[in-house]
Amino acid sequence: MNVVILSGRVVRDPELRYTANGVPVCSFPIAVERSYLNAQGERNVDYPVVVFWRGMAEKLVAPHAKKGMKVMVKGTLQTKIRERDGIKYQETEVHCDSFEFCESRRYDEPSNSNQSNTYNNMDSDDSGFVPVDDFDDELPF
């Protein structure tokens, strides 16, 4: 069985590109902390590259994922042998089947989306909660 589920932060903004056959693809590494502490009492971090294809790459990930966002991905591992400067090395990627944003968007820059109700800019503390004003005993919904 080849199933991988990872949760981490986007290391750099995704860049959408197209294969020679016109298939949309984008990829970026995510920072994933290990679940245990090392000898120095710190958590090591791994940076697997996650690859997205077709509609997921073009319509969901490329326009909305940004550096620093917390995401969860589910996919399969694929390993390739690459060569750079005459040196062969092994590269492992996670080819994503499903993708989820794990927190509200909290960025100062305007959203790239044309839909006003998607990925709204919100002020919040580090917990991810949006502060609510007093409503004079009225429920806000």
**Amino acid at residue number 84:** R
Where does the chain have alpha helices with state H?
A: 54-55, 62-64
Q: What is the pLDDT of residue 116?
A: 31
Q: Which fold has domain 1-141?
A: OB fold (Dihydrolipoamide Acetyltransferase, E2P) (2.40.50)
* Phi, psi (rounded to 5 degrees) for 2: -120, 85
pTM here is: 0.69
Q: Give the long-range contacts of residues 106-113, CB within 8 A, separation 24 or more.
A: 107/66, 112/63, 112/64, 113/63, 113/64
Partners of 24 in beta bridges: 18
Would you give the DSSP letter of residue 63? Answer: H
Give pLDDT tens digits for 82-139: 899 999 999 889 999 999 998 765 554 444 444 332 232 233 344 444 444 444 555 4
CA distance linking residue 125 with residue 132, whole number of Å: 12
Q: Which of 129, 93, 84, 121 is nearest to 105 (CA)?
A: 121
pLDDT digits (tens, 9 = 90+) for 48-94: 999 999 999 999 999 999 999 999 999 999 998 989 999 999 988 99
